[in-house]
Chain A
Amino acid sequence: MPTIANDFTINIATANGTGSQSANLILLQSMFEMGIPVSGKNMFPSNISGLPTWYIVRLSDHGYQAPGDRTHIQVLVNPATWDEDLAALESGSVVIWNSDAKKEMNREDIISYPVPMSSLARKINPKIAKLVTNIVYVGILAEMLGIDQDALVSALSKQFKGKEKAIELNLTALGLGRDYFKDNLPKEDPYVVEPREQSTAKFFIDGNEATALGCHFGGVQMLAWYPITPSSGIAEAIIEYIPQIRTNDDGEATCAVIQAEDELAAAGMVIGAGWAGGRGMTATSGPGISLMQEFIGLAYFAEVPSVFWDVNRVGPSTGLPTRTQQSDISMLYEGSHGDTQHIVLIPGTVEECFEFGWRALDYSERFQTPVFGLSDLDLGMNRWDCEGFTYPDQDMDRGKVVRDREVFEAFEDFGRYLDVDGDGIPYRTLPGSGMDPILYRGTGHDTKGVYSEKPQDYVDLMARLKRKINNAREILPAPLLREEIECEVGVIYLGSMENTIQEIDDILEETGMKVSQCRVRALPMSSQVEDFIRRHETTIVLEINRDGQLWGILRKELPNDLVTKIHSVAYSDGQPPRARIYSDLIMAKLEEVKQ
């Protein structure tokens, strides 16, 4: 039988709250340590214990990181989804199943590996049998696929950092799994792992932790947050790193953390910190941003630096709280009532989560406006490989703050909202400085910050705010372009689609077409996006949502002759994007456009 190495997908069906996540991460990490290009997706429920969870591990020498189009190896532990999971499998798939689960194995066309996982686990410790069951299937997979024992041991010790008892117990369980497969189950399947030489050293990290570190390297001074999936990881990681990297020799911190009573208060605290001259931020998800809308308008209109990270989950409303989507784009870009426009940074990799973490704080002070980071559950909560983080290449940009009286006196005419040098950004003074105090307000104001309802004052203010944000277009992170010389089909996309785009591109190019990629990394968009559209015969705007929100923004901002050149492919089912679904949709759209 010919073997299939490093090119298959494993799906592990368990119930949440049983400790399966640790076991799955050990499996993932062990393969990663063998140099195998591997990615893992946790499909978990909004629940503490007992509901179905799937963990999907994709091995791909092509480096594809999306969940594969099909499952090759199914691990069945959870009786609740057993029938459904089993029915979904293609003929010839492998099923490793818990024969203690009192469920039937009614498929004849699959390769069946029954394992009495519960009894094996009970042998080790009946009290924590459920927990140990998970490590038993890791042992089975390890033996079946040929995972190095050294890699497993290393992954185990990373997972249980220094907890010797846990490491020992899990090693025993792994061994039981391995031995059971060796002694009872002759290998009938073609799947194996093969070690690969990694060209560069890499590690695994999730986007939320990377974002948190980025914020610390941006010198964040205050985090105000309210717990919400899938963003809590950012706040928790910020808190976790403070003792290590944000305290002086006496253990005193330079970053304050307040767990707010709700998202409204969190937003208010961020704006208070920004008003006082500090770097404040919050991390939330779509429902939190909905609650913060009023404050976002205040920060825009009163021009107060403030940073909001949105780790997008499935909406509308409570939606699917533990599933991924790119559906907050419009809400962030035009957040709050009235005419507004906001800077949005959209990382697509963990390296960018780090980079945009510190850049967001810089942009916010530079442009004196709210800045959003838009991540999503897939990028934020799943682990991605990372070559390491790059130190900021510039000093912190504190923006136009007048700190010295001499500088202040040199102004011919000082007004908090007076644009003295034409870039739309006025100078500000800080409370406590004794210089030009004003009463900040969300009401209409003139260039001195004094309440005004005069028509021309309002028109001038709104025009300046528009100019200020428009001037950011070429300063914010530029789009990332990967172009074919033929300039046939262009695909504009954003965020975590980065991890699926190459596979989509490869599928499309198999049909003979030439595909260029343009990843938008910030709003408002650079003129490079417009140039990309102009150069290409047809452009697809690819998004993980229903309505094509980025496409909508482009239609509003592009010149008329380009509007008809862009076509929306938007789809979201809550799952991380699988390449085949999106490539099929793109092909159908191109077909439709041709007619």
Chain B
Amino acid sequence: MSERPARPAKVIKLNVINEPKDSYTGGPSSLCPGCGHDQISNVIIAAAWENGIEPHRIAKMSGIGCSSKTPAYYLGQSHGFNTVHGRMPSVTTGAYTVNKDLLYLGVSGDGDSASIGIGQLIHAIRRNVDMVYILENNGVYGLTKGQYSATADIGSKKKKGAVNETQPIDLCALAINLGCTFVARSFSGSKKQLKSLVKAAMSHKGFALIDVISPCVTFNNNDESLRSYGYVKDNNVTLHIADYIPNRAPMEEIEVPEGHYRDITLHDGSVIRLETISEDHDPTNAVAGLSALHAAEAEAKHVTGLLYYDGNKPSLIEDLGLVDSPLIDVADTDLRPSRETLDKLNAAFLS
């Protein structure tokens, strides 16, 4: 009797530091099914794993909002801090100042970063805090059920209420003007592009902003009654129940070749036009980055890719004149000046 060939053992892929991908995953997501934010979480997991970063050397930072809840859903072996609304940059700055050796991975939303937190975002960029700042941008306040945020496009119409007539804030343009050392825009459905940007940002020394368009599946910032007439017609019973959250499949992966654009149909049937910046774009040229943003805006497109990059600017820690080792590793006896030092001070005061 011939032996049946042994079933091949299940192969667990390891990264360069011999960690399986499971070491980088987190708890189950409690976001709406199909949310673009979950796709970003998966990209973060993949990027950290592929970059071979020790999970415990990452610090997950966030503010308040749907996006800021996501650190619970990735990197379960990393410490994290879900802080207060829009003020994650300052908490990160403080942590980074005393422990420069961690990879600070901030996740924020447009409600968090473009309104209450815009000052802290600006000042973290200005100081060039060494961190990755992923902005999960959907133009809407999800947790409070669908109010416009400061990045909502003019002409957007939410389920209930008026058309947004207020000029949106383009955080990438703002960041380039502030001299941010790494500015990119991407789309939650463009896994390949997003992952390469996140991996690059993780390796960057300085402040890296990635503004990720991540459409809200529940409170889309688009006019359902006009743009997804058919959907509403077919589902009119359930869609008018305010607390019903539709169960949707995640966006299919979309990769737009460099220099091209493509129209993407969102869950509600609305369309956004994504353009990938051409390979001729010089990311070290801030004016070129701004031009690309303005040209895209004029044509109602969202331009994605690495818009601006400056690898030479010193990061905050280099400006602080500190000892080589992270401050938290300095021994207590080296932190507290000696008894002789105090004796000398007292004597000098008395003289």
Contact = CB atoms under 8 A, between A and B. Distances in A.
A388 B344 CA distance: 11
Given A252-B321, A295-B87, A432-B56, A269 B336 contact: no
Nearest to B103: A432
A290 to B, nearest CB: 15
B61 to A, nearest CB: 8
Contacts of B1: none
Contacts of A201: 350
Interface in B72-114: 72, 76-84, 87, 89-99, 101-102
Nearest to B120: A265
Interface in A284-326: 294-295, 298, 302
B90 A269 contact: yes
B337 A273 contact: no
A184 to B, nearest CB: 37
A262 B90 CA distance: 10
A201 B348 CA distance: 12
Contact of B83 (A219, A398, A442, A451): A442
Contact of A272 (B60, B95, B330, B335): B95
A388 B345 CA distance: 9
Nearest to A451: B72
A455 interface: no
Interface string B120-155: 101100010000000000000000000000000000
Interface stretch (A170-178, A433-441, A471-479, A537-545): A433-441
A272 B93 contact: yes
A437 B77 contact: yes
Contacts of B57: 432
Interface in A214-228: 216-219, 221-222, 224
Contacts of A280: 94, 98
B328 interface: yes
Q: Which of A260, A275, A386 is the most central at the interface, judged by chain B CB atoms within 10 Å of its CB?
A: A275
Contact of B94 (A245, A270, A298, A388): A270
Contacts of B83: 268, 271, 298, 442
Given A218-B336, A272-B92, A265 B123 contact: yes
A224 B349 CA distance: 27
Contacts of B80: 437-440
Interface of B: 54, 56-57, 59-60, 71-72, 76-84, 87, 89-99, 101-102, 119-120, 122-123, 127, 320-324, 327-328, 330, 332, 334-337, 339, 341-342, 345-346, 349-350
A201 B345 CA distance: 14
Given A265-B87, A391-B339, A278 B327 contact: yes
Contacts of B71: 439
A367 to B, nearest CB: 18
A262 B342 contact: no
A439 B332 contact: no
B193 to A, nearest CB: 28
16 contacts: A205-B349, A217-B336, A219-B332, A254-B330, A265-B120, A273-B95, A275-B91, A276-B328, A278-B94, A294-B84, A298-B83, A389-B345, A431-B78, A431-B99, A432-B101, A442-B84
A420 interface: no
B3 to A, nearest CB: 44
A272 B341 CA distance: 30
Contact of A262 (B79, B89, B119): B119
B96 A440 contact: no
A443 B82 contact: yes
B322 A437 contact: no
Nearest to A203: B349
A578 interface: no
Contacts of B94: 222, 224, 258, 268-276, 278, 280
B342 A261 contact: no
Contacts of A275: 81, 91, 94-95
Nearest to A209: B349
Given A396-B335, A434-B54, 11 more contacts: A203-B349, A217-B337, A219-B336, A254-B327, A256-B327, A265-B119, A295-B87, A386-B349, A438-B79, A439-B71, A439-B72
A579 interface: no
Contact of B99 (A217, A277, A358, A442): A277
A248 interface: yes
Contacts of B324: 252
B90 A389 contact: no
Contact of B323 (A254, A396, A442): A254
- Size band of the interface chain A makes with B: 35 or more
B56 A434 contact: yes
B98 A222 contact: yes
Interface in A513-531: none
A261 B120 contact: yes
A105 B94 CA distance: 59
Given A217-B336, A222-B327, A388-B350, A437 B81 contact: no
Nearest to A396: B332
A329 interface: no
B350 A216 contact: no
B257 to A, nearest CB: 38
A216 B91 contact: no
A437 B60 CA distance: 11
A245 B84 contact: no
A260 B123 CA distance: 8
A213 interface: yes
Nearest to B334: A254
A164 interface: no
A392 B81 contact: no
Nearest to A294: B84
Contacts of B122: 261
A413 interface: no
A391 to B, nearest CB: 5
A437 B345 contact: no
* Residue of A203, A221, A260 with most partner-chain B CB within 10 A: A221
A50 B226 CA distance: 65
B21 to A, nearest CB: 17
Contacts of A262: 119
Interface string A403-429: 000000000000000000000000001
B120 A431 contact: no
A389 B346 contact: yes
B99 A268 contact: no
A246 interface: yes
Given A430-B328, A431-B95, A437 B90 contact: no
Given A261-B119, A265-B123, A272-B96, A441 B82 contact: yes
A261 B127 CA distance: 11
B81 A251 contact: no
A395 interface: yes
